[in-house]
């Protein structure tokens, strides 16, 4: 885990409504995402930005470790992600309206059965609607192409049109896909800390074409979004 921690002490909130002046923990999966967020934040001292690693397990474990060591009023899962056709174009931003573990469940002859349907808990972490709306509107007002919708967390990056369609029908309105949000959100929920997820879209969700991922473009828009976050949070 690669930690960029500021040294100020905290008076963070554990309510569902983050308080003004709270400390904010931003979790990314890789150093390039962390660096983009840090460039955007331009030294804003209330923010700590931590590299968690790729995937839900690394994200949950790293977030839990950081939250055990300091008080935060908000946790943000931030990075690049895939965009669902017709919902989020490459180069745009998605702010999660909810964070959904879209492949957590069981395959059955009748189709996918979620953890919820199996009776083992919830695959959805709600996000405070007012906060999501405030952030999305601030991004939009700053001229950034931002939308809100469910962001799916998956353990396997989608690589076929069939899987993209299946996920979109499993979660109506699905806007983006990434790998860490549910892990970050689960750790935050366990400590009663509100969570946000923001994805800068680097690729469409669908047939795998890794060479076509527009990572630089997505990192640039993640940087721009982070500069707005430092003002609105």
Binding site for ligand LNDFFVEH (CB under 6 A): 29-30, 32-33, 54, 79-82, 154, 157-158, 177-180, 202-203, 205, 215
Are the C-beta atoms of residues 34 and 49 closer than 8 Å to each other?
yes
The distance of Cα 135 from the centroid of its chain, to the nearest Å, equals 13
Q: How far is the CB of 88 from ligand LNDFFVEH (least distance, A)?
A: 11
| Nearest residue to ligand LNDFFVEH, by Cβ distance, number only | 82
Cβ closest to ligand LNDFFVEH, residue 8 vs residue 216 = 216
Q: How far is the CB of 46 from ligand LNDFFVEH (least distance, A)?
A: 24
Q: How far is the CB of 203 from ligand LNDFFVEH (least distance, A)?
A: 5
Q: How far is the CB of 185 from ligand LNDFFVEH (least distance, A)?
A: 13
Cβ closest to ligand LNDFFVEH, residue 80 vs residue 171 = 80
Task: Enumerate residues 6+ apart whose C-beta is below 8 A from 222.
Answer: 33, 36, 37, 40, 78, 79, 80, 93, 198, 200
Q: How far is the CB of 71 from ligand LNDFFVEH (least distance, A)?
A: 26
Q: How far is the CB of 178 from ligand LNDFFVEH (least distance, A)?
A: 3
Rounded Cα distance between 203 and 2, Å, is 26
Q: How many alpha carbons lie under 13 Å from residue 112 in its C-beta half-sphere?
A: 15
- Report CA-CA distances (Å) from 118 to 57, 181, 191: 21, 22, 25
Residue pointed to by tokens 């721009």: 224
Cβ closest to ligand LNDFFVEH, residue 138 vs residue 175 = 175
The distance of Cα 188 from the centroid of its chain, to the nearest Å, equals 12
Q: What φ, ψ does residue 224 adopt, rounded to 5°?
A: -60, -40
Cβ closest to ligand LNDFFVEH, residue 22 vs residue 59 = 59
Cβ closest to ligand LNDFFVEH, residue 80 vs residue 131 = 80
Are the C-beta atoms of residues 206 and 158 closer than 8 Å to each other?
yes
Cβ closest to ligand LNDFFVEH, residue 22 vs residue 178 = 178
């Amino acid at each position: 885990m690669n930690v960029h921690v500021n040294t100020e002490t905290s008076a963070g909130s554990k309510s569902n409504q983050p308080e003004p002046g709270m400390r904010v923990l931003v979790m990314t999966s890789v150093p390039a995402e962390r660096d983009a967020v840090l460039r955007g934040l331009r030294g804003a001292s209330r923010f700590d930005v931590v590299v968690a690693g790729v995937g839900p397990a690394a994200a949950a474990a790293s977030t839990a470790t950081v939250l055990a060591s300091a008080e935060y009023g908000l946790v943000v899962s931030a990075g690049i992600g895939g965009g669902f056709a017709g919902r989020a174009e490459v180069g745009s931003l998605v702010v999660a309206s909810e964070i959904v573990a879209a492949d957590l469940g069981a395959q059955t002859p009748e189709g996918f059965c979620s953890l919820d349907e199996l009776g083992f808990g919830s695959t959805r972490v709600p996000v405070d609607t007012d906060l999501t709306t405030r952030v999305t509107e601030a991004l939009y007002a700053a001229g950034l192409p931002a939308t809100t919708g469910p962001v799916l967390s998956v353990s396997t990056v989608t690589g076929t049109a069939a899987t993209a369609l299946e996920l979109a029908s499993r979660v109506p309105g699905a806007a983006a896909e990434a790998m860490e949000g549910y892990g970050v959100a689960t750790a935050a929920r366990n400590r009663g800390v509100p969570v946000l997820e923001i994805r800068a879209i680097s690729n469409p969700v669908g047939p795998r074409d890794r060479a076509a991922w527009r990572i630089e473009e997505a990192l640039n828009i993640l940087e721009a979004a982070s500069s707005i976050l430092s003002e609105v949070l």
